Every structure is written in structure tokens, then in C-alpha cells.
């Protein structure tokens, strides 16, 4: 039995969507919206419990922070290295603006966090907005 034309078109559409660079950006926006909804709803306790499930001696949050984020930043570093040695960032003229942008992308989010959380128990989390800034910037640029 041969698949119908509608099934072939749907499969091609699905493949094209997931092969597109925009997919990661869309998924990031959807995951962010879902997280904000869950964190501010009656399901907040269940959501928190889910992320604190132990798996192999570590919580899911620890696996993500220590494992997946390490892989993410490794890939970003490798891409950056390739651009510096072979790509558009190989000359100092082309690298000066991205360098200042990167420094600003680290200092401004962490500075705002410290300004709003200075003297509180959450003051030590200043690195979190700095790290997520890169992921969101890449997601937005892919859109």
C-alpha cells in the first residue's frame, strides 16, 4: 500500500521544518512560554518536584546545568573558534564589535541581577542571566 500524497507532503513539511535553523528558536520560545506559565500557575509545586527528581545520584536540574550546558558551551566555543580562524571574525576589524558586545552581554545582565538582588539570599545567582543570554540570543537570531 502506497502512502497518499497528503502523507508525503506532511512528511516533507515536517522534515523541512526540523531541518530549518528556525526550529531551535521556535522551540526555545515555546519552552520559555510554557515554563513561565507553569511557574506561575497552580502546577508550580509539581513542576518544581519534577525538576528535582533524582536520576543517577543527581537531580534533573544538575544534569542539565552540569551536563547539557557544558555540551552547549563546548559547541558555541567550537563554532566561535572556527569563525575566528577561518570565518568572518578572522580580522581584528571584524572582531572588535562582537568582543565589546560579548563583554556587554556578560556585564549588563549580571550587573542588573546584582543590582536587583544585592544583599538577598539570591545574590549568588548572578551567573544565570549571563549564561542564558547566549542561548536566547542564538535562538532569536535563528528566527
- Claim: this prediction has a pTM higher than 0.85: no
What sections of 20-126 are H helices per DSSP? 22-39, 44-51, 60-63, 69-85, 92-117
Asked if 29 and 142 count as a contact pair (C-beta separation under 8 A), the reply is no
Q: Is the pLDDT of residue 136 over 60?
A: yes
Confidence of residue 63 (pLDDT cuts 50, 70, 90): very high
HSE of 119 in the Cβ direction (CA atoms, 13 Å)?
Answer: 2
φ, ψ at 125 (rounded to 5°): -90, 25
Confidence of residue 76 (pLDDT cuts 50, 70, 90): confident
pLDDT of residue 54: 94
pLDDT of residue 90: 84
Q: Per the structure, how many domains does the chain have? A: 1
DSSP state of 118: T
| CATH of residue 47 | 1.20.1530.10
- Domain interval for residue 37: 5-142
Amino acid at each position: 500500500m502506497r502512502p497518499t500524497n497528503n502523507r508525503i507532503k506532511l512528511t516533507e513539511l515536517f522534515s523541512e521544518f526540523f531541518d530549518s535553523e528556525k526550529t531551535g528558536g521556535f522551540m526555545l520560545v515555546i519552552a520559555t512560554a510554557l515554563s513561565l506559565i507553569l511557574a506561575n500557575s497552580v502546577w508550580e509545586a509539581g513542576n518544581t518536584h519534577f525538576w528535582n527528581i533524582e536520576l543517577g545520584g543527581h537531580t534533573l536540574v544538575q544534569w542539565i546545568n552540569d551536563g547539557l550546558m557544558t555540551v552547549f558551551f563546548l559547541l558555541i566555543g567550537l563554532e566561535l573558534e572556527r569563525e575566528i580562524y577561518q570565518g568572518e571574525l578572522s580580522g581584528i576589524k571584524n572582531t572588535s564589535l562582537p568582543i565589546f558586545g560579548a563583554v556587554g552581554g556578560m556585564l549588563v545582565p549580571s550587573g542588573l541581577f546584582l543590582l536587583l538582588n544585592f544583599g538577598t539570599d539570591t545574590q549568588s545567582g548572578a551567573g544565570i542571566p549571563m549564561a542564558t543570554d547566549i542561548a536566547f540570543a542564538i535562538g532569536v537570531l535563528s528566527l
